[in-house]
C-alpha cells in the first residue's frame, strides 16, 4: 500500500514539475514575442520617418510602404506611452509587428484599429480613461485628435460589436485570457 502511495506521489510531483516547466516556457515565449513586436514596431517607426508617402490608384489617402507592407499612419497615446505604426489592413501575421486598421478610415470618421495585448502595443489600453487624448498622424502630415469617450469590455466572440455605435475612432485588443476585448471608443476633437 505504501509503495502505491509513493509511486502516485512521485507521479503527481513529476506532473506538477512538467506543468511548471510548461508555464515557465510559455511565459518566456510570451516575453520574447512581446519584445520582438516592440522592436519590429520601433524599426518600422524609424523607417517611416525616412519614407515618402505613396498614393496608388484607388487609395483615398497616401500610405507609407516599408518592405512591401502598407502603413496608413501612426497612433499616439501619450498617457500610456504608445507611439506605433498602423498597418493598412489586418491579419494575424501583421498584428505580430504592429497595430492594424481593422476597418473604416480616418477620413470616413469610423476607423477601427486592432492590436495584440503586448505591453509594447495595446497591453495598457484598459488603463485609458474618458477624457484622455488619442492622436492619429497620417502619411500626408495631417494629425487627428480624439478624446476617449468610453472604455468597455466586449465579449471576445462579438467581433462585429467593434463596428457598432457611431464612434469616430475605436481601438481594441484582447484581454489576457482572450475571453474579452477591451474597446476604447473615441470622439474626434475639432
Domains of the chain plus CATH, in order, are 44-189 (2.40.260.10)
pLDDT at 62: 85
Residues of the chain with pLDDT under 50: none
Q: List C-alpha distances in Å: 104 to 30, 108, 110, 121.
A: 30, 7, 5, 20
**Reported pTM:** 0.80
Q: How much is the CA Rg of the chain, to the nearest whole Å?
A: 21
pLDDT at 23: 62
pLDDT at 19: 65
pLDDT at 100: 96
C-alpha 131/C-alpha 126 separation (Å) is 14
C-alpha 48/C-alpha 139 separation (Å) is 9
pLDDT at 154: 87
pLDDT at 27: 60
Closest Cα to residue 85, out of 42, 122, 128, 120?
A: 42
C-alpha 38/C-alpha 190 separation (Å) is 31
pLDDT at 132: 98
pLDDT at 130: 97
pLDDT at 187: 97
pLDDT at 45: 83
Amino acid at each position: 500500500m505504501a509503495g502505491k502511495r509513493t509511486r502516485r506521489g512521485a507521479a503527481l510531483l513529476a506532473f506538477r514539475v512538467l506543468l511548471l516547466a510548461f508555464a515557465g516556457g510559455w511565459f518566456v515565449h510570451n516575453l520574447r514575442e512581446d519584445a520582438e513586436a516592440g522592436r519590429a514596431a520601433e524599426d518600422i517607426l524609424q523607417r517611416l520617418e525616412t519614407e515618402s508617402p505613396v498614393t496608388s490608384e484607388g487609395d483615398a489617402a497616401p500610405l507609407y510602404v516599408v518592405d512591401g507592407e502598407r502603413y496608413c499612419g501612426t497612433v499616439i497615446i501619450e498617457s500610456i506611452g504608445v507611439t506605433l505604426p498602423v498597418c493598412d489592413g489586418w491579419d494575424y501575421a501583421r498584428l505580430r509587428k504592429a497595430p492594424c486598421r481593422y476597418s473604416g478610415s480616418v477620413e470616413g470618421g469610423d476607423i477601427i484599429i486592432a492590436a495584440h495585448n503586448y505591453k509594447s502595443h495595446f497591453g495598457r489600453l484598459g488603463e485609458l480613461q474618458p477624457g484622455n487624448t488619442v492622436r492619429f498622424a497620417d502619411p500626408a502630415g495631417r494629425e487627428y485628435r480624439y478624446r476617449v469617450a468610453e472604455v468597455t469590455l466586449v465579449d471576445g466572440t462579438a467581433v462585429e460589436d467593434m463596428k457598432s455605435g457611431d464612434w469616430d475612432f475605436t481601438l481594441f485588443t484582447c484581454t489576457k485570457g482572450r475571453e474579452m476585448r477591451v474597446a476604447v471608443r473615441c470622439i474626434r476633437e475639432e
